[in-house]
């Protein structure tokens, strides 16, 4: 259905490695293989969302921007517009920047692309799960080992998508101290989540 | 006006600076060019981690299980929320508590420990096996301010792992200034 929002929530802890080298995927996509185009999109989705996060706050807006980028990318790959696969990173970034520059003008074009490529987006999307995934309960386990202040900074910065300035203000910290706390908390969580859930390790 | 961010070469910290806005625009342009180029070569695992963290954190925040320890009012709100909550009263930790399997449809597990933590600045729970092997530490647990009781909340699958992997001792260590007080030990053992 054109215009229907498609959630791009992805819960896998690590993105699956492409089954084919990127250049092969780009070539296959240009031959009309939509699963190859989807694989390319899946690879870039986290950084496209990071690009959007820097510019917009609300999760819905981040998802919509990501969806728009993917629609343009899928179309461009299918049309064989990327002649040098080794420049794929810059190509995707260029789409991001162009869309960020002029969102309003893209609305009409977005509807047309959605009609054509909604199937690709559906393959990329994963509905918010009814039950917690392993990654979610793993994070819950790891959060409980942090200090309350570290949990607060993760909640504000990641669950509520606050900017670094707002996080610092909410916690009555200097921006520098909030940044150090954020980085330390991130590293503690990444280290914790690289192991098994606490009780599974004993 | 943002304070200038100190230099860091760590990819995860740099990505955090980028998305949070701590990185100035003058640096962000070249950063994102390098980031997207690294993705094309499969070398940006920090982006996958940050993306997963954000989605999982949003999910946990929506469920109300972000904090460690809850107030009675928060528990009442959770019980009225429509989630399938399984509530267990562990008493005052003076006798071991048997933990049968959770009901299959349980979404969130809630437990109460009737220990009075009023007058303390905070508390940790150190979990060990019966032989004293450390399992983990819950840091900075919250408790009810009116009666000092401890309410724990966690997702049912984590409760299954945490309470039913084997017998454990949950040592409650409270803080008052620099003083640390062993308030009690809850022994749990899976049954059934």
Residue A90: pLDDT over 80: yes
Residue A20: pLDDT over 80: no
Min mean pLDDT across A48-62, A176-190, B123-137 is at: A48-62
Which residues on B lie below 8 Å from A179 (Cβ)?
A: 5, 17, 20, 22
DSSP state of B70: B
Residue of chain A nearest B164, judged by CA positions = A199
Residue A95: predicted pLDDT: 95
Residue A105: predicted pLDDT: 62
Q: Which of B18, B36, B133 is facing A202, going by the closest CB pair? A: B133
| Sign, Cα dihedral of A197, B13, A87, A117 | positive
Strand-by-strand arrangement of the B108-113 sheet: B85-89, B108-113, B150-155
Q: Which of A50, A146, A200 is facing B15, going by the closest CB pair? A: A50
Beta strands B134-138; B122-128: pairing state: antiparallel
Min mean pLDDT across A126-135, B150-159, B173-182 is at: A126-135
Are A198 and B61 within 8 A, CB to CB? Answer: no
Are B68 and A144 within 8 A, CB to CB? Answer: yes
Residue B6: predicted pLDDT: 54
Residue spans of alpha helices (H) in chain A: 22-30, 34-55, 59-78, 88-101, 103-124, 134-143, 148-154, 164-170, 175-193
Beta-carbon count within 10 A of A134 CB = 13
With both helix axes pointing from N to C terminus, report the angle between A88-101 and B25-40 in degrees, rounded to the nearest 10.
Answer: 140
The pTM score is 0.84
pLDDT tens, position by position, A136-164: 999 999 999 999 999 999 999 999 999 99
Distance of alpha carbon B16 from alpha carbon B137, whole angstroms = 27
Q: Chain A contact for B48, CB < 8 A? A: yes
Q: Chain A contact for B83, CB < 8 A? A: no
Q: Which of B4, B45, B60, B167 to mutate to test the interface with A (most CBs of A within 10 A)?
A: B60
Q: Chain A contact for B31, CB < 8 A? A: no
Are A145 and B28 within 8 A, CB to CB? Answer: no
Are B55 and A11 within 8 A, CB to CB? Answer: yes
Residue A120: predicted pLDDT: 74
**Which H/E stretch holds residue B74?**
helix B72-79
Residue of chain B nearest A160, judged by CA positions = B58
Average pLDDT, chain A: 84
Quote the distance between the C-alpha of residue B140 and its chain's center.
Answer: 10
Q: Chain A contact for B161, CB < 8 A? A: yes
Percent of chain A with pLDDT over 70: 83
Are B40 and A22 within 8 A, CB to CB? Answer: yes
Are B21 and A164 within 8 A, CB to CB? Answer: yes
Q: Are B11 and B46 in contact (CB under 8 A)?
A: yes
Residue B169: predicted pLDDT: 97
Per-domain boundaries in chain B: 11-61, 68-190
Are A186 and B66 within 8 A, CB to CB? Answer: no
Give A157 to chain B, closest Cα distance, Å. 7
| B68-190 to CATH, choices 2.60.40, 2.120.10, 1.10.357, 3.30.160 | 2.60.40
Q: Which of residues 96-155 of B touch A (CB under 8 A)?
A: 107, 122, 127, 129, 133, 135-140, 142, 154-155
Residue B7: predicted pLDDT: 54
Among the listed residues A171, A145, A117, A130, the one whose alpha carbon sits nearest the alpha carbon of residue A4: A117
Are B6 and A176 within 8 A, CB to CB? Answer: yes
Min mean pLDDT across A82-86, A148-152, B136-140 is at: A82-86
Distances (CA, A) of A147 to A143, A184, B136: 8, 11, 13
Residue A13: predicted pLDDT: 39
Q: Which two three-digit tokens encode residue A11? A: 């819960």
Q: Are A143 and A153 in contact (CB under 8 A)?
A: no
Beta-carbon count within 10 A of A15 CB = 20
Note the ipTM here: 0.91
Give A156 to chain B, closest Cα distance, Å. 10
Are A132 and B15 within 8 A, CB to CB? Answer: no
Chain position carrying tokens 């600045």: B121
Are A14 and B20 within 8 A, CB to CB? Answer: no
Are A160 and B28 within 8 A, CB to CB? Answer: no
| Sign, Cα dihedral of A75, A34, A71, B25 | negative
């Amino acid at each position: 259905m054109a215009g229907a929002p498609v959630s791009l929530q992805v819960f896998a802890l690590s993105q699956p490695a492409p089954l084919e080298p990127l250049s092969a995927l780009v070539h296959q996509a240009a031959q009309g293989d939509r699963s190859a185009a989807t694989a390319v999109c899946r690879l870039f989705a986290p950084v496209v969302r990071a690009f959007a996060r820097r510019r917009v706050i609300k999760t819905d807006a981040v998802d919509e921007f990501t969806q728009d980028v993917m629609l343009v990318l899928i179309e461009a790959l299918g049309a064989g517009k990327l002649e040098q696969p080794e420049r794929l990173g810059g190509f995707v970034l260029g789409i991001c920047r162009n869309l960020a520059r002029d969102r309003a003008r893209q609305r009409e074009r977005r509807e047309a692309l959605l009609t054509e490529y909604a199937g690709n987006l559906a393959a990329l999307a994963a509905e918010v799960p009814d039950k917690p995934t392993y990654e979610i309960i793993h994070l819950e386990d790891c959060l409980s080992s942090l200090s309350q202040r570290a949990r607060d900074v993760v909640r504000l910065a990641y669950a509520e998508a606050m900017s670094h300035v707002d996080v610092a203000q909410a916690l009555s910290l200097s921006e520098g101290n909030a940044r150090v706390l954020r980085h330390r908390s991130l590293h503690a969580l990444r280290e914790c989540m690289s192991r098994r859930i606490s009780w599974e390790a004993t | 006006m943002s304070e200038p961010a100190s230099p860091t070469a760590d990819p995860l910290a740099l990505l955090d600076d980028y998305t949070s806005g701590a990185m100035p625009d003058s640096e962000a342009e070249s950063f994102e060019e390098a980031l997207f180029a690294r993705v094309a070569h499969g070398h940006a695992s920090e982006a996958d981690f940050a993306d997963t963290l954000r989605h999982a954190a949003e999910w946990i925040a929506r469920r109300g299980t972000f904090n460690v320890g809850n107030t009675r009012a928060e528990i009442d709100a959770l019980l009225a929320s429509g989630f399938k909550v399984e509530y267990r009263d562990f008493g005052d930790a003076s006798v071991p508590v048997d933990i049968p399997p959770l009901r299959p449809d349980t979404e969130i597990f809630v437990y109460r420990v009737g220990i009075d933590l009023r007058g303390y600045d905070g508390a940790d729970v150190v979990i060990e096996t019966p032989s004293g092997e450390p399992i983990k530490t819950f840091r900075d647990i919250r408790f009810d301010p009116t009666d000092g009781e401890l309410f724990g909340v966690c997702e049912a699958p984590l409760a299954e792992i945490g309470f039913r992997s084997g017998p454990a001792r949950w040592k409650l260590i409270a803080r008052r200034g620099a003083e640390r007080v062993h308030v009690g030990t809850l022994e749990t053992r899976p049954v059934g």
